[in-house]
Structure 1
């Protein structure tokens, strides 16, 4: 059997690349994490200044976000143990003291599941089917903002001051200034169309990838959030209504110390590949983002080449080249 010509390998590599991009079309959204994100951005200093102007003049601005702080605590070892670790409880108290007029909701494993069952029963199978527990926490925060509105904060985030200035923006996420958007601190009015799109996208995006890192971040976490963010802004009209806008609140250390938030111990979920890809992302992400198609093509070309080498090697086992004497004897 003749070996394929070089141009055939190139064509097969191109076809494999196209197939990869088509069959996993959502990966295209991945490139959005490498550049500046869509949507208006505000620094925390700008938010503070706008609020101070409101206080000094007639109160004309509207509060969109209800005064609710959501936090989630799922004890994966013992779901019935709902006692917060001491350091997280201390951080939580910073928000309670700084925001005494806010309602506080702590969602445990049992109350979270009951919330999904009662209000979003169609999502129950997907919620229970997540193979990595932190995915339930990711999904739950989106449903909580959709149903109740308010501010969601991870348990290792605290409050350095009153959060009222953040209520004047109909919906917002935090942006660290590079890579994906963050979902550790987010806020919204109830039934904002972005969070409806987020929750309605969870089922079709709930793939189980070979690596836990991709399964968490791309099926429900920050890559997923960023991809839906870009999709949402792509379909907004040029001048959307204010209540449909969603802002990026910059939470970048280059902007200076955070005005509203503090940070404590994280690491409730981690894995070996999470550490590996975080290392790669912190050092090589800009290069990878600008060369993503070249990387995909090279990868597919290597796979195709290795496949053909193995195929022909197998066919060659047990055979020898036919010489002139062999042909005469035949």
Structure 2
């Protein structure tokens, strides 16, 4: 009898697993095509800032950008105090880098400004980027990047992004997929596309639009005016060579 029940349950379990995998494979595939939002080069951002009439008037320019270096303890304290509903998910992440990914979204939602990973540097003052209400970085191939981000405080994209972290918190067995799709750049790209799909086709205010700042490092592409990139590795794991 037990064997008979197992024999009947096995096809159901396999079918459920196949449907689940098919759904998520489709979800993964769409992350690697042309992305929503307005593509803009770093050179275009700088030139627009220089040509803007207001940029020549010191009293109308943003004068001071406070810099904050966040640590593991200060990040957890921030989540605990400001977003306690997220704390159990935050603590449950399988990999430490997932907490690093998640907290940056809450920091940008709360404070606004610009977030940079420690393996990124600055070539010049980042003030011109503060005039864009929402932007991410785009390497020109594959998913969007979440290593450099910018936003105004309380932007609706970050409302959706932070609220989606709980439902996206799933262990996909492979570390690279788990990190990327539960909180990392695949997750960010998925919500970016979902957010832009929800906007009206016409009459969208500038404050709601998302910009993709191009950071393509291939030969003969637009120069990097603002940023540098070194090799990080906090997300590196045993399965990386399968996906990269």
TM-score band w.r.t. shorter chain: 0.7 to 0.9
* Residue aligned with 1:102, SS: coil
Aligned length: 227
1:202 match: secondary structure: helix
- CA distance change for structure 1 residues 22 and 264 in 2, over 3 Å: closer, same or farther? closer
TM-score by length of 1: 0.64
Give the Cα–Cα distance (whole angstroms) in 2 for the partners of residues 265 and 35 of structure 1: 25
Partner deviation per Cα, 1:200-257 (whole Å, 9 max, x = no partner): 0000000011111111001001111111111111110013111111110111124233
Write out the 4+ residue segments of structure 1 that deviate beyond 6 Å after TM superposition: 56-59
Which stretch shows the higher mean deviation, 179-188 or 47-56?
47-56
- Mapped to 1, the partners of 2:103 and 2:231 lie a distance apart of 21
Show the 5 A alignment for 1:141-160.
141-160=104-123
Residue of structure 2 in register with 1:253 after alignment? 217
Does structure 1 retain, via aligned residues, the 8 Å contact 2:39–2:212? yes
Instruction: Mark the CA change 1:169 to 1:21 in structure 2 (over 3 Å): closer, same or farther.
Output: farther
The equivalent of 1:90 in structure 2 is none
Partner of 1:220: 183
Residues 32, 226 of structure 1: 8 Å contact kept? no
Confirm or deny: 8 A CA contact 2:32 2:142 kept in the other structure.
yes
**CA distance in 2: counterparts of 1:57 and 1:167, whole angstroms:** 12
How many angstroms does 1:19 deviate by? 6.2
Please name the residue that 2:47 is paired with.
Answer: 49
Kindly tell me: are residues 214 and 23 of structure 1, through their superposed partners in 2, closer, same or farther at Cα, counting changes over 3 Å? closer
- 3-state SS, counterpart of residue 197 of structure 1: helix
Rounded to whole Å, the distance in 2 between the matches of 1:174 and 1:45 is 14
RMSD over aligned CA atoms reads: 2.3
Describe how 1:121-270 pairs up with structure 2 within 5 A. 121-239=84-202, 240-254=204-218, 255-270=221-236
Structure 2 CA distance for partners of 1:106 and 1:58, relative to 1, 3 Å: closer
- Unpaired stretches in structure 2, ≥5 consecutive residues: 1-10
Q: Partners in 2 of 1:20 and 1:176 — Cα distance?
A: 32
